[in-house]
Amino acid sequence: MRMRHVSRFILIGSGVGILSLLTGCATSRVAGGKLYHVTAYRPHDPSAVRVKVSLSKQNIYVMEGDRCLMAVACSVGLANKPTPHGNFTIYAKQEHKRSGEYGFSVQGNTVVATTAGHAGGHYVGYPMGYWCEFAPGYGFHQGFVHPVPRTHGCIRLKGEAAAKFFALVRTGTPVNIATTQPEDATIGPTVQRVDDSRTPDPDPHVMVTDAAFESPSGPLLE
């Protein structure tokens, strides 16, 4: 993983790979990546909304019956830290969620990447915007999206896709996560791919502020 901000982005702890983890979760606008515009349609019946995740295609399909409300690329868990398979329900939502495990220690003008257990000064958790939790410690949230599995089990959506997903689902929305989905053959080929693998590292001084949470540039739902 690149270390472009070594002079101001200090790693604390041995073998935790903090920079790799944090860069992999940065939001697109803050990190300097291109904005990702997606279309999401308003459901006729919000109680009929279902979420399907294809792990092999790294796609999310938000469905209302046979109607596709939104289809977007995502990042899923690494082989040794997999995203859970199975049927779940979204049971918690938080627009401006911050990690309780990874984040930054703020000491005056110095911002240091760290784990919560090693933090000195004022600890600020890493931004995980538009959090939608479907299993303890696992959720959908805003972040970098890569062409290969990248996360520690969470499911990341790029930029405004996360905000629109957040608007489409509610507590109680069913989620099915499987290796493949029937929509892979029909809707999957139309999904815009995302590759944040060369997006610059985030500025930690911005990531400790509310600017780390990217808001959509237009209406949430069509």
2 compared with 177, residue with greater pLDDT? 177
Q: What is the pTM of this model?
A: 0.85
Average predicted confidence (pLDDT) for the chain: 86
Nearest-angstrom CA–CA distance, 181 and 69 = 16
Nearest-angstrom CA–CA distance, 2 and 4 = 6
Encoded tokens for 83: 């995203």
Residues 49 and 76 in one domain: yes
179-203 pLDDT, tens per residue?
999 999 999 999 999 999 998 878 9
Nearest-angstrom CA–CA distance, 46 and 173 = 9
The residue among 47, 60, 45 whose CA lies nearest residue 172 is 47
Give the pLDDT band of residue 94 (cuts 50, 70, 90).
very high
Residues 154 and 174 in one domain: yes
Give the pLDDT band of residue 34 (cuts 50, 70, 90).
low
Residues 89 and 134 in one domain: yes
Residues 110 and 30 in one domain: yes
Please tell me the predicted confidence (pLDDT) of residue 17.
41
Give the pLDDT band of residue 118 (cuts 50, 70, 90).
confident
Residues 146 and 88 in one domain: yes
Residue 22 and residue 5 in contact, taking contact as beta carbons nearer than 8 Å: no
Residues 104 and 91 in one domain: no
Nearest-angstrom CA–CA distance, 174 and 50 = 5
How many domains are there within the chain?
A: 2
Within a domain: residue 58?
yes
Domain that holds residue 74: 36-95+130-194
Residues 72 and 158 in one domain: yes
Please tell me the predicted confidence (pLDDT) of residue 214.
87
20-33 pLDDT, tens per residue?
444 333 333 433 45
Lowest mean pLDDT among 81-95, 134-148, 190-204: 190-204
Residue 74 and residue 150 in contact, taking contact as beta carbons nearer than 8 Å: no
